[in-house]
Amino acid sequence: IQYADLWQAYCEVNEQFVHGLFQFKKEKDMVWIHDIYLLLAPFYLRKKDLNCNIGFFVQSPFPSSDVFKTCQHRIELLKSLLCSDIIGFNVYEYSRNFTAACRKILKLSSSPKKGGYVGVEYNGRTILIKVGQIRVNIEDVKKSLKTKEFSDYREHIFQMLIQPKQFLLSSVDRIHPISGIKQKLEGYQHFLRNCPNLRSKTCLMLFLLPPECENFGVEQLIASDGFSPQISFKSLDPSIFLKRNSQTRDSLNLHQNWTKDLLKNTLGDILKLVAEIQNEFGHGCLIFRQENLTQEQRCALW
């Protein structure tokens, strides 16, 4: 599969999302966009509506300017993001990387603004950069702790333990090649090998969530590896957002097959390592589940 084909498909998906949005958008509506899947959407929005009020939140880490310079379409991506009125990042480091990329790649200036914002000057406009850390709503947590679901699942967790443990480690992860699940398991395996006195006292409960790209037959993929899914996967065909030309469809099919193979290899590595740890140290050291946890269940787990 060619990089140019992937980039063309990415552009078309973004353009078609914006096209669909304008079927519902009213004149003074603010458009709020999330994450790397729609980095070009602000450009297409601004192209259709010069006065559109656009907010963009980058959920993913934004790389350093030196790393971002290696991206072939770095200028297009930066200029598209700068079509927004406000851009949010999870942590200060990512916002700093973004402003540094604007300065080094596009030669733009930035300065502090009132309210904790940073302003980037672009095409006669000031784009506000804001850091918005993820917070825990304490009141929601308190409500969850009083529910029957919390109590029942807490009891369920203890029932899953083969023997009483002094140390319970828990982890909730999504299947993804860069999610670090394999490295986490390797670290836990290293811990068990080097701390034999803690093996009988420690248990890792690893909960695996389905991947976000749910259109690649993941349910069958997991079942084929002897891992029975307990939740349903919704089917979403992204080709409905693409222009109906054969070249785009061929590129999409190639990308789907490549992604399916990548996910299958990732899951295969995880399952192999889980079995290796359980065989070496016993099933009581590692409990591996696939569940879609509610807020109450997560509170019980933590």
List pLDDT tens digits, range 101-144. 999 999 999 999 988 899 999 999 999 999 987 677 788 888 98
| Cβ atoms < 10 Å from Cβ of 202 | 19
Cα–Cα distance measured from residue 259 to residue 103, given in angstroms and rounded to the nearest whole number: 34
My answer on whether 152 and 122 are in the same domain is no
pLDDT over 50 at 218, yes or no? no
Strands (E), 167-230: 167-174, 202-209
Give residue 174's pLDDT.
77
Q: What are phi and psi of 145, to 5 degrees?
A: -65, -15
Which residue range(s) make up the domain with 158? Answer: 138-301
Residue 196, domain CATH: 3.40.50.2000
pLDDT tens digit sequence for 254-264: 555 555 666 67
Answer yes or no: do 29 and 172 share one domain. no
pLDDT mean over 144-154: 90
DSSP 260: H
- The per-residue pLDDT for 238 is 36
Positive or negative CA dihedral for 135, 139, 145, 148?
negative
Domain boundary among 114, 131, 148: 131
Helix (H) or strand (E) holding 258: helix 246-281
Averaged pLDDT for residues 14-37: 88
Q: Residue count of the chain, please give it.
A: 302
* End-of-domain residue from the set 131, 158, 175: 131
Task: Kindly indicate the confidence band of residue 212, based on its pLDDT and cuts at 50, 70 and 90.
Answer: low
Asked if residues 122 and 82 have their Cβ atoms less than 8 Å apart, the reply is yes
Q: Which of 68, 97, 131 represents a domain boundary (last residue)?
A: 131
pLDDT tops 50 at residue 26: yes
Q: Kindly give the interhelix angle for 181-194 and 246-281, rounded to the nearest 10 degrees.
A: 10
Give the pLDDT mean for 163-177: 77
Do 99 and 181 lie in one domain? The reply is no
Q: What is the pLDDT of residue 211?
A: 65
pLDDT > 70 fraction of the chain, expressed in percent and rounded = 79
- Give the mean model confidence (pLDDT) for residues 283-287: 87
Identity at 117, one-letter amino acid code = Y
pTM: 0.56
* 149 and 29 in a common domain: no
Residue 214 shares a structural domain with residue 89? no
Name the H helices within 22-59: 41-48
Confidence (pLDDT) at 253: 56
Q: Which residues of 73-95 are buried (b: 16+ CB within 10 A; e: fewer)?
A: eeeebbbbbbbbbbbbbbeeebb
Contact 171, 205 (CB under 8 A): yes
With 90 as the cut, is the pLDDT of residue 157 above it?
A: no
The total of structural domains in the chain comes to 2
DSSP 8-state code for residue 140? H
Co-location of 7 and 114 in the same domain: yes
Q: What is the pLDDT of residues 44-102, one digit of tens each?
A: 999 988 888 999 999 889 999 999 999 999 999 999 999 999 999 998 999 999 999 99
Backbone phi and psi for residue 299, each to the nearest 5 degrees, phi listed first: -60, -40
